[in-house]
Amino acid sequence: MTKKKVLITGGAGFLGSHLSDRFIKEGYRVIAMDNLITGSLENIEHLFGKKDFEFHHCDVSRFIHVPGDLDYILHFASPASPIDYLKMPIQTLKVGSLGIHNCLGLAKEKKARVLIASTSEVYGDPLVHPQTEEYWGNVNPVGPRGVYDEAKRFQEAMTMAYHTFHGLETRIVRIFNTYGPRMRLDDGRVLPAFIGQALRGEDLTAFGDGSQTRSFCYVDDLVEGIYRLLMSDYAMPVNIGNPDEITINQFAEEIIRLTGAKQKVIYQPLPEDDPKQRKPDITKAREILGWEPKFSRAEGLKPTLEYFKGKVGG
C-alpha cells in the first residue's frame, strides 16, 4: 500500500519539526520545506537518512512544487515571535498572503487537505476573556504587531475563501503559547527568555508590572490537537492551547524556583499592543476533537529546561 504523503511548510521550525516527527511516527511520507530564516536544520537532522523524510530548502512565498500525489498540507511557515516578525515584517506578511495562496493552489491541484497554523494573535489585545473562536478580536492593523496579526487573519480569510468557493478541504488551528524542546533561546518570548536569563545568571526581565497573563501549552499536547483537527471533519477555526492561566510575575517565580536561580525580576515598559490577557476557551477542541492538554507546566518544563541547558552550556 502506498504511504500517504504530507507537506509541512516551516518544517525545520520549532512546531514544524515536531509535526514532522509525529507524521513519520504515524507512517506518512513527510516533505519538509523551509527557507531557514527562523528554522534550523538542527531541528530535523535526526530525520535525515530516513527513507520517508525529505527536506527542501525553499521559500514558499515564491513557489511550491511537489511531484506526484499529495494528501495533506500543513502551512506552518512564518516568523512567529515578536523579535522575528518585527525584524522581518515584509517576509511575515508575504508568507501569510503569497505563501498561503501557493499552498492553497497546490492543494487544489493535488486535491489535498490543508491545515493552516493561525494564532491567538488574531484576537489581538482581547476585550473578551477567555477567548472563544467566535470572538473577532481587537487588533491594531498599523501597530508593530499588525504585520503578524493581520497576516494570520488574512491567511484565515483566504483559506475560508478556497473552502467555500473551490470546495477545498481546509482546517484552521489557532495556536496559543506553546513551549518545549527546539524553541530558540533568543526568540524573544517570555519562556525561553526567562529560562535563558536564569541559566546565565542574569536578572529576569518582565515587561509592564508583570500582571499580564499567559497560558502555556506543551508541544506534545499541541501536536496531538493539530493531528486530531487535521483528521476531523471540522472546517472552522479551533483554539488549541492550555487554559491554565498564570501571571508573568508568577511564572518568573516558577522559573527561579525550577532553576535554583538567585536573581531577581526587573521590569521594563510594556511593548505597544502587548496583550494583557491570554487564555484559550478550548470547549470546541474538547467537544469536537476529544482533546485537552495532558501535560502540566511542571511536567513540560522539565524536558524544556534540559534542552535549554544544552544550549546555554549549563
In tens, the pLDDT along 139-183 reads 999 998 999 999 999 999 999 999 999 999 999 999 999 999 999
pLDDT value, residue 312: 85
Q: What amino acid positions are annotated as catalytic residues?
A: 148
Grid cell listed for 111: 486535491
Superfamily of domain 190-212+245-278+298-312: UDP-galactose 4-epimerase, domain 1 (3.90.25.10)
Residue 15: pLDDT above 90? yes
Rounded distance between C-alpha atoms, residue 31 and residue 224, angstroms: 19
Mean pLDDT of the chain: 94
Q: Which residues contact 61 (CB under 8 A, 6 or more apart)?
A: 77, 91, 94, 95, 98, 99, 102
CA torsion angle 143 37 226 99 (round to 10): 70
pLDDT value, residue 273: 60
82 upstream amide cis, omega within 30 of 0: no
Mean pLDDT of all residues in 289-294: 98
Residue 314: pLDDT above 60? no
Residue 255: pLDDT above 70? yes
Residue 82: pLDDT above 90? no
Rounded distance between C-alpha atoms, residue 110 and residue 86, angstroms: 34
pLDDT per position as a tens digit, 28-72? 999 999 999 999 999 999 999 999 999 999 999 999 999 999 999
- pLDDT-derived band at 276 (thresholds 50, 70, 90) equals confident
Mean pLDDT of all residues in 185-196: 90
pLDDT value, residue 189: 87
- pLDDT-derived band at 251 (thresholds 50, 70, 90) equals very high
pLDDT value, residue 132: 96
**Domain edges within the chain:** 5-179+217-242+281-295, 190-212+245-278+298-312
Could you tell me whether strands 29-34 and 113-119 are parallel, antiparallel, or unpaired per DSSP bridges? unpaired
Torsions phi, psi of 144, nearest 5? -60, -30
Superfamily of domain 5-179+217-242+281-295: NAD(P)-binding Rossmann-like Domain (3.40.50.720)
User: Which position has the higher pLDDT, 29 or 186?
Assistant: 29
- pTM for the full predicted model: 0.95
Span between the terminal Cα atoms of the chain, in Å: 47
Whose CA is closest to 79, among 38, 35, 19?
A: 38
Percent of the residues in the chain that have a pLDDT greater than 90, as a whole number? 84
pLDDT value, residue 183: 95
